[in-house]
Structure 1
């Protein structure tokens, strides 16, 4: 054993003896480490308390980190006790071992396990160097070969980490291709409307954190008992939430911000609800841009406050989340309780402040978890009881004309263990493709669970926006969907559009949707049927849209049976495919939370032989009819540099044919790769786009073609030599 008291005056082999803890770190070095930890702790506690004083945090926020560190400290003591019998003397090195579960767990959340282990290895090496050379530094021996080696190694390591965390060159396929665009011959829905806007708030008067909903509320509301839906609101959660908010789950407030037009005309009601964010960082004001805009167009807009259902920093740390869970049904129920409150006001002849609100035309909008809440609320609306507990009776029955889900979650609440569904209600879901919070477009799953079987016109649409993120749909959530330092390390910021542009797109989509479903103004319907009209509004922005409405007649949806050769209206035939199968499609391979909830046909072909896919037609069609389908590439932009094209042929019963290329109606780019988080493997997900082809276009190609006697439509894969696609929802319809 080496006895030299100087920590590092020994040859290189002694460094490894140091690692084996045969030599104790000097007492002065150990004291420096102890004092460093004390200073760090004081700064941490000071930060927590100043946050409490200024209202951005509260005393309970210290609880989560302290409990977390305490648990790991106990674990560290167990580790230390084992090493005690090995006569470990080097406390700095031991601290690296004790801290390992904390550091690796934290890093793995953001970087993935492999990179976390690599980073921790670097942290461990730093401790070794400090352990071995702190005494030399104290004695003024700043430069030696090991310190020089470390100074060289550190930037090299940094470059390696940057290379691992930086997103590959993804999402740039469209930058090198022309984005098709069409002009809509109507005024832009983003133009400010003719009405002046007034605003006020309503609340319970008991929210000690929100003066605008207590002393500042214009209208005072009664509280509601949500304890049946919030079984997790108990113990320490209930104790600290009662301290912070001033109420518990038996007295939930009904409170919101209102923007309404100054008019005596009936004003349709729109409710907007935020998602899960830190409850101390209030989210309800972030939709002011939508409230001002829609109120100027004659709608009463309410941004509903549900911050008290969100998680708090005090209830979890480094993703050890012990916050409220199972709140998604409560979020939906509270939306409907807001509608109940408006119904009571509307029946009160003395209630003049709210004006003439039209409760026969209601639209629910939600962002993030609020998007799922809006969908679930619409499914609750006609029920007599809460599906999971008959003790809670429902008596809502509002006329909910439509639901909009912005970057929604899905499947967090499952009545009777099954995903919620909607019938005969229009639905719009939108999402950005650089969303680092909701990594995948879960609204597409809900889209597949919206069905129509009435004579009333309804439609559904899903729209993907290239360059939009999660947070910028809310003005207060901002550009970074994660912690800021995580965003800085992803190098992903350059792919995100400006907040102003993202919110202008939201205004166009939301305004157009509510005008269609409430005012029956179908002049904006092409925006949802064909994404190229959106590009006409926002040049150089790439959109993908899928669309279906209640007037469509189904040819094949692939939900009928397991027979590849049958559809709803006739037979299907395919030849020379490398792969032809019907599958239950996942959102993407790395996601197990929810599927697309639809069967599709997958077709793959190569240049060795001509592949064709034929569907028989039986509907009575004319020159005002359209045929169509939904299509998604199944190939990622990392794998190919070309868009997919093929021929769409129709034939009548006399044998006359006409054909048109897909590219005339839809540019089918490969799927854009996504990598919005550090350490996450680049991935892609299927995004379906609608293709609608007016049969009149075929008559121009062949004037002998008898549109009224069409026998089949056929996809002929004679343009792109190799490819793979997904197809769904073959339809016929009247062209608008």
Structure 2
């Protein structure tokens, strides 16, 4: 029973307990037949029993070989059809954002000076103080042995790529890794991004947080510190202290840059533009940057203000970029984080074997734009079909889980590391140049990924986009399904089997579910009391896996009693088989559709022409810019 029980424990992580148990049982049976058959062949005197035992041994041997072959093989070739909608095709961006710029650049490391890793020890160019986070966390005994320090003396270590042209100050981009083996240097895996950004006129920094890593899904390296006194009242995840610590280290790093900026003897004197900061985080780092953005505006830790006082940070953090980000590792006051008025982009691989669904979509849902903002902000996402979790970091690679478990990952469909990192370079460069350097021509890439097809690897992409210059017509959060979100709007329906609001957990959002009565033309119509003037109507839409659907029309109705009719090609739900022992499954994902307005709008209508497909629709807005 050891093999099936072990396999059951392993596959609980993969979500396929039954298949894992069967595989373990087959391995146990094969080993029993193989070893028992050999033993019986030796011990039995009867020729017949020896022959039977020998045959059973051969069967067991073949079974063991087949199971080991299955365990060691890379996986299965998957048929992946690339589908790119051709209607209303956007203009192409005029250059590849990932190309190096014209700035010469250099590199150095900073650190405590006493770290046993020489880059942060004796080779550190700038010595930094330690910070005491013992009130928040308690490191594991294994990490204390590895790094030779504890939670009272945590270092501020990192790697900096910086321009050497005399045109400072420069915008700052911090990169934050996530959870991996603590003995590996995860922060070095973003060197490809650091060099590109420095050549384009940014100071790029990759922060070391390896001492906070556990490297295993079965335990965390972090426990509660003194705030354990409130643990019994807290609804937050058990990883809460770890995420708090990760976020404070980000802000304390920026605090060091503030000091360097003011020291005339420091080689970074007056080189950091701390009013112009972007944060990139990968995996748990993707969630940590969101928490850091929240803490940046606060004076106290919400959960434990009497013991954790922040250092009046208030840095100019303008943009957040999450890659394969986690969600709800830290929930202050027991609720998901709510952010306001910041630009945020999230990228996720459909073949992510660690964070197996696009959880960070909920962070985008919880980001709101207020009317009092003076800046243009947007939130966007990109779901990449053949991308995994690890290849965005050069050190993590094709296997997203720990050795042993990682052999269950189906790596055959995954794109190459170079292709995957090219995607992150394109979006990192375009995002930081757009937000921090006002290179507005890159906005096209976030509104519609097809504007970058000349430079992006050939695979399926699903993208969403919303900005701060929108008026919401319907977000489907009302209990009354007969009205829209905008005041005094009315809903009419014709020949619809389904037209309900449903909660989609991965998006943390209620959406409209539409399905027509079979062989009938179904209509869902929103009438506005007052006209709205804008440039476009946008909405998010997805459908069930029934192939490419050509029979969804959208009619825009204008105040002058004319209308425009558009055919909307909705991509089918894409499939994935991330693990060899799992079945093929469909991905729930919505894409943003943008339709031009030729006159002030008074209503719109979705028309479904007799298909059994179910459509999910969310966030119907008018763009007012």
Q: TM-score, normalised by structure 1?
A: 0.76
- Are positions 1:184 and 2:92 aligned together? yes
| Aligned pairs for 1:503-542 within 5 A | 503-538=421-456, 540-542=458-460
- 2:32 alignment partner in structure 1: 127
- Are positions 1:559 and 2:559 aligned together? no
| Largest Rg, 1 or 2 | 1
Gaps of 5+ in 1: 1-96, 588-595, 697-706
Q: Is the 8 A contact 1:535 1:541 kept in 2?
A: no
Query: 2:355 pairs with 438, 458, 475, which one?
Result: 438
Q: Is the 8 A contact 1:443 1:462 kept in 2?
A: no
Distance of 1:721 and 1:167 partners within structure 2:
39
CA deviation after TM superposition for structure 1 residue 481, in Å: 1.2
- 1:307 alignment partner in structure 2: 210
| Aligned pairs for 1:439-454 within 5 A | 439-453=356-370, 454=373
- 1:367 alignment partner in structure 2: 282
Q: Tell me, what secondary structure is at the counterpart of 1:116? A: helix
Q: Tell me, what secondary structure is at the counterpart of 2:586? A: coil
- Are positions 1:627 and 2:530 aligned together? no
Q: Tell me, what secondary structure is at the counterpart of 1:408? A: coil
Distance of 1:613 and 1:162 partners within structure 2:
53
Q: Is the 8 A contact 2:573 2:587 kept in 1?
A: yes
CA deviation after TM superposition for structure 1 residue 145, in Å: 2.5
- Are positions 1:463 and 2:463 aligned together? no
Which structure is higher in helix share? 1
| Aligned pairs for 1:39-118 within 5 A | 101-102=5-6, 104-106=8-10, 109=13, 112-118=16-22
Q: Is the 8 A contact 2:41 2:54 kept in 1?
A: no
Gaps of 5+ in 2: 223-238
Distance of 1:513 and 1:598 partners within structure 2:
25
CA deviation after TM superposition for structure 1 residue 137, in Å: 4.2
Greater alpha carbon shift after TM alignment, 145-154 vs 131-140: 131-140
Q: Is the 8 A contact 1:582 1:602 kept in 2?
A: yes
CA deviation after TM superposition for structure 1 residue 484, in Å: 5.7
Q: Deviations over 1:92-122 (max 9, x none)?
A: xxxxx57764464346545833233323333
Cα 1:166–1:723 change in 2 (3 A) is: farther
Query: 2:613 pairs with 712, 717, 723, which one?
Result: 723
Q: Tell me, what secondary structure is at the counterpart of 1:186? A: coil
Distance of 2:22 and 2:44 partners within structure 1:
32
Instruction: Number of aligned residue pairs: give it.
Output: 597
Q: Is the 8 A contact 1:486 1:678 kept in 2?
A: no
Query: 1:683 pairs with 585, 593, 596, which one?
Result: 585
Query: 1:195 pairs with 99, 103, 107, which one?
Result: 103
Q: Tell me, what secondary structure is at the counterpart of 2:575? A: coil
Q: TM-score, normalised by structure 2?
A: 0.89
Q: Deviations over 1:501-553 (max 9, x none)?
A: 11111111011111121112210111111122133432632211111111111
Q: Is the 8 A contact 1:410 1:443 kept in 2?
A: yes
Query: 1:393 pairs with 280, 294, 309, which one?
Result: 309
Please report the RMSD computed on the Cα atoms of aligned residues, expressed in angstroms: 2.9
CA deviation after TM superposition for structure 1 residue 280, in Å: 0.7
- Are positions 1:607 and 2:499 aligned together? no
Q: Is the 8 A contact 1:206 1:246 kept in 2?
A: no
Q: Deviations over 1:576-626 (max 9, x none)?
A: 111111122112xxxxxxxx221211112243321111122466556x711
Q: Deviations over 1:697-730 (max 9, x none)?
A: xxxxxxxxxx23x321111112x62211111111
Cα 1:632–1:374 change in 2 (3 A) is: same
Cα 1:374–1:693 change in 2 (3 A) is: same
Cα 1:272–1:163 change in 2 (3 A) is: closer
Distance of 1:522 and 1:98 partners within structure 2:
60
Distance of 1:532 and 1:105 partners within structure 2:
43
Cα 1:523–1:130 change in 2 (3 A) is: same
Cα 1:734–1:164 change in 2 (3 A) is: farther
Distance of 1:132 and 1:539 partners within structure 2:
53
- 2:323 alignment partner in structure 1: 406
Query: 1:323 pairs with 221, 227, 252, which one?
Result: 221
Q: Is the 8 A contact 1:111 1:678 kept in 2?
A: no
CA deviation after TM superposition for structure 1 residue 416, in Å: 0.8
Cα 1:160–1:689 change in 2 (3 A) is: same
Distance of 1:553 and 1:246 partners within structure 2:
55
Greater alpha carbon shift after TM alignment, 179-188 vs 566-575: 179-188
- 1:732 alignment partner in structure 2: 622
CA deviation after TM superposition for structure 1 residue 152, in Å: 3.8
Cα 1:160–1:262 change in 2 (3 A) is: closer
- Are positions 1:712 and 2:603 aligned together? yes
Distance of 1:645 and 1:329 partners within structure 2:
49
Distance of 1:448 and 1:294 partners within structure 2:
29
Distance of 2:95 and 2:33 partners within structure 1:
68
Cα 1:322–1:366 change in 2 (3 A) is: closer
Query: 2:148 pairs with 208, 223, 246, which one?
Result: 246
Q: Tell me, what secondary structure is at the counterpart of 1:541? A: coil
Q: Deviations over 1:29-84 (max 9, x none)?
A: xxxxxxxxxxxxxxxxxxxxxxxxxxxxxxxxxxxxxxxxxxxxxxxxxxxxxxxx
- Are positions 1:229 and 2:129 aligned together? no
Distance of 1:535 and 1:187 partners within structure 2:
11
Q: Deviations over 1:146-201 (max 9, x none)?
A: 322442465468768989999998974534x4564655242211111000110000
Distance of 1:497 and 1:272 partners within structure 2:
23
Distance of 2:218 and 2:466 partners within structure 1:
41
